[in-house]
Amino acid sequence: MPQPSYSQGNQDKPLLTQCIGDAFDTTVARFPDREALVVRHQALRYTWQQLAEAVDQHARALMALGVQPGDRLGIWAPNCAEWCITQFASAKVGAILVNINPAYRSSELDYALGQSGCRWVICADAFKTSDYHAMLLGLVPGLAAGQPGALICERFPELRGVVSLAVAPPPGFLAWHDLQARAAAVSREALAERQAQLHCDDPINIQYTSGTTGFPKGATLSHSNILNNGYMVGESLGLTEHDRLVVPVPLYHCFGMVMANLGCMTHGSTLIYPNDAFDPLATLRAVAEEKATALYGVPTMFIAELDHPQRGEFDLSSLRTGIMAGATCPIEVMRRVIGEMHMAEVQIAYGMTETSPVSLQTGASDDLERRVTSVGRTQPRLENKVIDADGNTLPRGEIGELCTRGYSVMLGYWNNPKATAESIDEEGWMHTGDLAVMDEQGYVRIVGRSKDMIIRGGENIYPRELEEFFFTHPAVADVQVIGVPCSKYGEEIVAWVRLHPGHTASAEELRDWAKARIAHFKVPRYFRFVDEFPMTVTGKVQKFRMREISVEELSAG
């Protein structure tokens, strides 16, 4: 009888049962004088003891604002020291951190704030072409004229105020340094008492994932979910207090805040942020000058680093390991990362926000073929299986939907029981929507995405969300969005558009319109204007045929 496509990870390694704040304090006690955080673009360095002082001050300041366990605290900023400090401080007071994508525009921010019911938001002043202050002032009536903490807003009834990282923010915003001054009103004993009230299964983080129904869903994660996942990733990499990890990936993703921040914290390793957003030169310089031993990134980032004209100027020989995730890695890229960047132990990780995120990972000793043709084997304390359309576990070697079960599966989607029930079955299995095949040794290969998700440069993009967005343009009668292969980003977005009779719109017009309203990575690179879409006899759109046509046209063009 053929072996079933079911795999259980190592059960010998115990799970951590602490809350994040307590685990943080344990690391501080073990390594008080070792370097914890280096933020190069802000010229900031913290030992674990110094970071603890900043975190505890921020936690007490949040308590002084009236933040209670279970309150939602939004963070809308690129990578910076304040992001990391807020992550650990919010965990200490039991606030649920709501990660807001730095690329979000007003319509996406509107939804995230309203759906999560944020009590407070901590924001940067601006990032790239986004003016955060202006967007918030436009969305929140009365913000400019109100007192922080006393905001009354019909649109966001739970919102009480906004903290700005700017030195001198506009009226209505509470400056970060003024917030920190409020910590004096709350004693260290009161913070310790608050920490002691928390439980490791409490929700502590909400991360929005694009939804197939057109609206993002807030994956709600507990202390136990993300603390243990970061810990297990670090264990696989063999991290210790002597490791130094460069983090060019965004903190608002699980890749940054879980696999990096929590993975390093649980092992006493040093976190190094090279810049506020990915920059290949800043990353290379950080690796060389900080004598980094590990580096994270999606394949696109590694390609940019390898191909940078100044790469040869930097000594990368201190590197030994790291993680490449977010998209399939071309074999030649993996060869170059190992050979030219000295990352002999680099690993591949697979997962999704709903599983905290990693459920499968290659090992340091896996050969090159395993690291480019598979996403590894099941992580410790987790289970994976591949099923058919009826829910039956398939024999190994057959393609079906990948499902994951164990400590890493989210608590559910925030205020969305229907979507939760559709994703997590009665036996606790998270249905990933990804098509996979498991081999005889338990290695899993991802072969497709049953939900049509597009992965562009490590960003997950769902066509349905984009389609509903473009429906709001006055010239658009119908639109279908697909992904096509791209050597640089893994995939690019193509929008097939049918215009209303008597209306006109060019690709450039639609692109500019979208850029002003949605995150840059969601804006289609290609537009194709048609009178009709390929359809089945029953009237169903044939996206596979649209993909074939688009690939043919782009190859010919």
Q: What is the pLDDT of residue 261?
A: 98
* Better-scored residue on pLDDT, 457 or 22: 22
> DSSP readout, 15-46?
PP-S-HHHHHHHHHHH-TTSEEEEEGGGTEEE
> DSSP readout, 177-214?
HHHHHGGGGS-HHHHHHHHHH--TTSEEEEEEE--TTS
d(CA 125, CA 359): 36
228-237, 311-320, 473-482: least confident range:
473-482
106-120, 129-143, 312-326, 444-458: least confident range:
444-458
User: Considering all CA atoms of the chain, what is the largest pairwise distance in Å, rounded to the nearest integer?
Assistant: 72
Q: For residue 122, is pLDDT > 70? A: yes
| Boundaries of every domain in the chain | 20-199, 222-378+406-428, 455-556
Residue appearing with tokens 């009178």? 531
User: How many helices and strands (H and E) does the chain possess?
Assistant: 18, 29
What's 225-254 look like in SS3? HHHHHHHHHHHHHCCCCCCEEECCCCCCCH
- Residue 306, Cβ density class (10 Å: 0-12 exposed, 13-18 middle, ≥19 buried): middle
Question: Model confidence at 539, in pLDDT bands (50, 70, 90)?
Answer: low
Question: Model confidence at 333, in pLDDT bands (50, 70, 90)?
Answer: confident
Q: For residue 217, is pLDDT > 60? A: yes
Give the orientation angle of helix 132-139 with respect to helix 106-116, to 10 degrees. Answer: 60
Residue 115: CB atoms within 10 Å:
20
Q: For residue 538, is pLDDT > 60? A: no
**Once rounded to an integer, what is the mean pLDDT over residues 292-296?**
98
Non-local (6+) Cβ contacts of 401 within 8 A are 386, 387, 388, 431, 432, 433, 434, 435, 436, 450
Could you say which of 2.40.50.1020, 3.40.50.300, 3.40.50.980, 3.40.720.10 is the CATH number of the domain covering 20-199? 3.40.50.980
* Long-range contact pairs involving 129-134 (C-beta distance under 8 Å, separation at least 24): 130/102, 130/103, 130/104, 130/105, 132/76, 133/164, 133/166, 133/169, 133/170, 133/173
- The model carries a pTM of 0.86
- Reduced to 3 states (helix: H, G, I; strand: E, B; else coil), residue 424 is strand
Cα–Cα nearest to 220, from 93, 88, 94, 98: 98
Q: What percent of the chain has pLDDT over 90?
A: 81
Non-local (6+) Cβ contacts of 461 within 8 A are 210, 453, 454, 455, 483, 493, 521, 522
Containing 266, the helix (H) or strand (E) segment is none
Question: Model confidence at 373, in pLDDT bands (50, 70, 90)?
Answer: confident
Q: For residue 211, is pLDDT > 90? A: no
Cα–Cα nearest to 493, from 517, 536, 457: 457
Instruction: Answer for the pair 100, 109: CB distance below 8 angstroms, yes or no.
Output: yes
Same fold, 222-378+406-428 and 455-556: no
Q: What is the pLDDT of residue 115?
A: 97
Cis status, amide bond into 299, omega within 30 of 0: no
**Once rounded to an integer, what is the mean pLDDT over residues 414-434?**
96
Residue appearing with tokens 């006055």? 474
50-59, 263-272, 294-303, 322-331: least confident range:
322-331
Q: What is the pLDDT of residue 213?
A: 45
Q: What is the pLDDT of residue 448?
A: 65
Q: What is the rounded average pLDDT for all residues in the chain?
A: 93
For the domain covering 455-556, report its CATH number: 3.30.300.30
Give the orientation angle of helix 331-340 with respect to helix 299-306, to 10 degrees. Answer: 50
Structure tokens at 405: 């079960």
Residue 157: CB atoms within 10 Å:
9
**Once rounded to an integer, what is the mean pLDDT over residues 183-198?**
98
CA atoms within 13 A on the CB side of 52: 23
Q: What is the pLDDT of residue 537?
A: 47
CATH topology of domain 222-378+406-428: Rossmann fold (3.40.50)
What's 498-518 look like in SS3? EECCCCCCCHHHHHHHHHCCC
Beta bridge partners of 324: 297, 348
Beta bridge partners of 377: 361
Containing 91, the helix (H) or strand (E) segment is helix 81-93
d(CA 299, CA 253): 16
Non-local (6+) Cβ contacts of 53 within 8 A are none
